[in-house]
Amino acid sequence: MPKFKLFKERKGKADQLKNNQYVKLARAIYVEAKKGGPNPEANFGLKTAIANARAIQMPNENIERAIKKAIGANDSENYEEIIYEGYGPGGVAIMVKCLTDNRNRTAADVRAVFNKRGGNMGESGCVSYMFDEKGLLVVEREGLDLNEDDLLMLALEAGAEDVIVNETSFEILTAPRDFEKVKTELEKQGLQFSEASISWLPQNTVKVEGENAEKLTKMMEAFDDLDDVQDVYANFEIDGQ
């Protein structure tokens, strides 16, 4: 395969991934604006959604368009949040969070990904007991002036429960009810977040290798391609990822 063709295909996939992220974040902004009003200073959910959009360089016009659509007098769209649960290859537990205006379509799409990629969708509650709902604030190490101890002290003083140290980032965990307070306090201290959300974190992880690892990677990509899917939470661990 000629090199230029390979690069073009890779660039096309990268562009498609970014477009998918824009669609998902625009939908989150729309929902938060419709639910709590268009002023981010008075609507914490909207403020967080906008910050997440800006973290991936989503254009301001896309953000403004989503807000204007939400407050439009003739707008009749109505999205609801649904979490689907199931198992992937190797018995991996998976939770798929969606924002949808058509529950039947979304359920069929999510089920198809499970079935085609070697998994199966289960009933509500079949895997959620393996996860804890937490506020998650991710701080990238690059460009950070604070050392590990200082960041830990700041986070705990702000009300965080724990800080997970990774090679390239710090993950600050909070109780869901404390998420807004902790995020606001740490922003006052000058911290910026590459991700800020209420997430489902696995209590334990399952190491996956070989064919199952390949199938799981493709399953995650397939979920990400669905516009209705906002986040996917899973308890697998793959070397090198």
Alpha helices per DSSP H over the chain: 3-36, 44-55, 60-71, 103-116, 148-158, 179-188, 210-225
Residue 9 confidence class, pLDDT cut points 50, 70, 90? very low
pLDDT at residue number 10: 39
pLDDT at residue number 16: 56
Instruction: Report the mean per-residue pLDDT for the chain.
Output: 88
37-58: average pLDDT: 92
Q: Are strands 195-202 and 169-174 parallel, antiparallel or unpaired?
A: unpaired
pTM for this predicted structure: 0.83
Is the predicted pLDDT of residue 174 greater than 50, yes or no?
yes
pLDDT digits (tens, 9 = 90+) for 183-234: 999 999 999 999 999 999 999 999 999 999 999 999 999 999 999 999 999 9
Q: Which two tokens stand for residue 109?
A: 């799409």
More confident residue, 144 or 87: 87
List the single range of 3-17, 33-47, 149-163 with lowest mean pLDDT: 3-17
Backbone angles phi, psi at 98, to 5 degrees: -125, 150
pLDDT at residue number 113: 97
Euclidean distance between CA atoms 35 and 157, whole angstroms: 31
Euclidean distance between CA atoms 128 and 86, whole angstroms: 9
Q: 223 with 113: CB under 8 angstroms?
A: yes
pLDDT digits (tens, 9 = 90+) for 102-146: 999 999 999 999 999 999 999 999 999 999 999 999 999 988 888
166-170: average pLDDT: 90
Backbone angles phi, psi at 96, to 5 degrees: -120, 110
pLDDT at residue number 5: 36
